[in-house]
Amino acid sequence: MRKNVKAIIAALSASIMCAVPVAASFASTAATTSITAEAASDIIYDAQHAGVVKPSQVICYSLVYDLNESNKTASLNGRYNPVRDITLPDQLRVNGVLYKITSVKNDAFKTTNVSQYTVNNFKGGKYLETIGARAFQGTVVRKVEVTSKKITIGDDAFRNTSVGTVILPGRATIGDRAFKDNRWLEKVQFVYNDSTNYNSSVSLGSNAFENDPALTNFNSQNRRVLNLHRNTFANTNNVYFSGFSLYYVD
């Protein structure tokens, strides 16, 4: 019986290990055949497979990721232990296999009590394409930065948070109420970081930035069409738009 207990403890310990981030390696191993030239400049974390928790999950730097074996992608699905700064790598390497981190799942960090959970900064990697509905709702997240080519942010994703600055790629779709009720939000910027988002459009959902009294700076590095609703900035009255041609969809 004692041997079995030790084995379980050893397996659990291995499941929550995560090595220091490394660049993609081209050493002569079986896994290197799956590493592309693009991945050579990626930030890659080496994680241990957390089969003790769930066969398709890993835990890395106190964050839980779900793995999709069919398309070799990973989704951030919350925290295993308290963590205040979240910087996603571009990929995870699990048992020699690379998984691109493409999404944050619905309700991943949602809380009903803002004082209970703080995320000082959230930074997404270059393959992140989706931040799910209510993913950070009610948290004390202070800065959001996404470095990918495009992003879709779900309904209520950052509603009622403490975010002050948001930096997003030029191809962006922001859902209904995504940044509603953020009294500290001052700046939202869309950056040109890839030829695919040069002069691309940005779409904002209903009430996406409602009740954000401090928001004054809403800008783009390139001239873009901004698709929005009449109520997108309801009760947010001092916004200065730069680099946009506004187009109302209702």
Residues 129 and 225: their CA atoms lie apart, in Å, by 20
Q: What is the pLDDT of residues 22-47, one digit of tens each?
A: 444 322 222 333 445 566 699 999 88
Report the pLDDT value the prediction gives residue 48, as an integer from 0 to 100: 62
What is the span of the domain harbouring residue 207? Answer: 106-250
The closest alpha carbon to 165, from 219, 115, 208, belongs to 219
SS3 category, 83 = coil
Report the pLDDT value the prediction gives residue 50, as an integer from 0 to 100: 53
Q: Are 64 and 131 members of one domain?
A: no
CB 134 within 8 A of CB 161: no
CB 59 within 8 A of CB 80: yes
Question: Is 47 inside any structural domain?
Answer: yes
Q: What is the pLDDT of residues 122-181, one digit of tens each?
A: 999 999 999 999 999 988 889 999 999 999 999 999 999 999 999 999 999 999 999 999
Q: Are 132 and 221 members of one domain?
A: yes
Question: Is 172 inside any structural domain?
Answer: yes
Give the end of a domain, one of 52, 84, 101.
Answer: 101
- Beta carbons within 10 angstroms of residue 231's beta carbon: 15
Give the end of a domain, one of 45, 67, 101.
Answer: 101
Query: Which of 111-115, 188-192, 241-245 comes out lowest in average pLDDT?
Result: 111-115
Q: Are 63 and 144 members of one domain?
A: no
Tokens (6 digits) for 31: 């896994």
Name the percent of the chain lying above pLDDT 70: 79
Strand 43-47 relative to strand 22-23, pairing = antiparallel
What does pLDDT average to over the chain? Answer: 83
DSSP 3: H
Read off the pLDDT of each residue in 205-225 and give the average, rounded to a whole number: 96
Report the pLDDT value the prediction gives residue 20, as an integer from 0 to 100: 43
Q: Are 51 and 159 members of one domain?
A: no
Read off the pLDDT of each residue in 196-215 and give the average, rounded to a whole number: 93
Q: Between the CA of residue 186 and those of 47, 82, 142, 219, what are the distances in Å?
A: 36, 27, 11, 11
Read off the pLDDT of each residue in 62-87 and give the average, rounded to a whole number: 90
Residues 52 and 50: their CA atoms lie apart, in Å, by 5
Give the end of a domain, one of 101, 130, 148.
Answer: 101
Report the pLDDT value the prediction gives residue 18, as an integer from 0 to 100: 57
SS3 category, 230 = coil
Number of compact structural domains in the chain: 2
pLDDT above 80 for 59 = yes
Report the pLDDT value the prediction gives residue 89, as an integer from 0 to 100: 95
CB 142 within 8 A of CB 120: yes
Tokens (6 digits) for 119: 């995320």
CB 169 within 8 A of CB 151: yes
pLDDT above 90 for 14 = no
169 sits in which H/E element: strand 165-169
Locate the DSSP E strands across 14-108: 22-23, 43-47, 57-60, 63-68, 73-79, 85-87, 91-94, 97-104
Question: Is 131 inside any structural domain?
Answer: yes
Q: Are 168 and 135 members of one domain?
A: yes
Report the pLDDT value the prediction gives residue 120, as an integer from 0 to 100: 83
